[in-house]
Amino acid sequence: MDSKKQNNIPRHIAIIMDGNNRWAKKRFLPGIAGHKAGADAVRAVIRGCVDQGVDVLTLFAFSSENWQRPQKEVNALMELFLISLRREVKKLHKYNIRLRIIGDKAGFSPEIQQAIADAEALTQGNSGLQLNVAANYGGRWDIVHTAQLLAQQVADGVLKPEEITETLFNQNISLGDLPPPDLCIRTAGEQRISNYLLWQFAYSEFYYSPLLWPDFKEQALAEAIEDFAGRQRRFGKTSEQVEGKADA
């Protein structure tokens, strides 16, 4: 990877897509209309990431807490998720995009679980943008689930407690095989993580957009990337060390 891309273009962008319901309410439309409009924004941002040379895009589609929403909205979201898995994956495959769903997939209906498996299998060999969709996902669930996996290995006698390191933990958590998120974008003016990728965000940069998610398109993504490019990422070092003006 060239130094220009490494310094100015985030390899991995994670997005909290917020504001679909507010977008719909402003137009006196039902909430599901906002989610459908949000799907258009997803397509636009995927195109933008491909054009900008981003390697990985991770979208927060449905949190483990979203089950608490009105049942009518949850049912509509599940229907939209299923339709998207069946229709959109063909377009993703056409453009060499690889799809992965992260989260507790056991919480979905057998029909959705099968659609997820089919979509992932279809795009598994693709080498372009890695698109991850977090569905029935929570950052605390992710950490606890990883701890349980490692604890089971200890119980089975194949792992010693002292062998559990940050590196090993990271290898077993969601997206551990990918570069960590360089940039997290949240739309709709909210400024919180909302239980998203808690482990993975250790050194991520954050960008908050006032735009509601359905209005966040290629230009807005380019502005977020431009803002990211102007930041200095130190990872615990001093500015002088990063700039090569002082010994490490």
Catalytic residues: 18, 66
In angstroms, the CA 245 to CA 232 distance is 14
Buried b (16+ CB within 10 A) or exposed e, 190-207: eeebebbbebbbeebbeb
Kindly tell me the burial class for residue 131, based on how many C-beta atoms sit within 10 Å of its own C-beta (0-12, 13-18, 19 or more).
buried
In angstroms, the CA 102 to CA 93 distance is 18
In angstroms, the CA 46 to CA 134 distance is 15
Owner of token pair 């908050």: 208
- Find all residues with CB under 8 Å of 130, minimum gap 6, and list them: 55, 56, 57, 97, 98, 100, 178
Q: Comparing C-alpha atoms, which of 130, 173, 131 is closest to residue 150?
A: 173
Cβ atoms of 52 and 222 closer than 8 Å: yes
In angstroms, the CA 31 to CA 46 distance is 23
* 60 Cα distance to chain centroid: 5
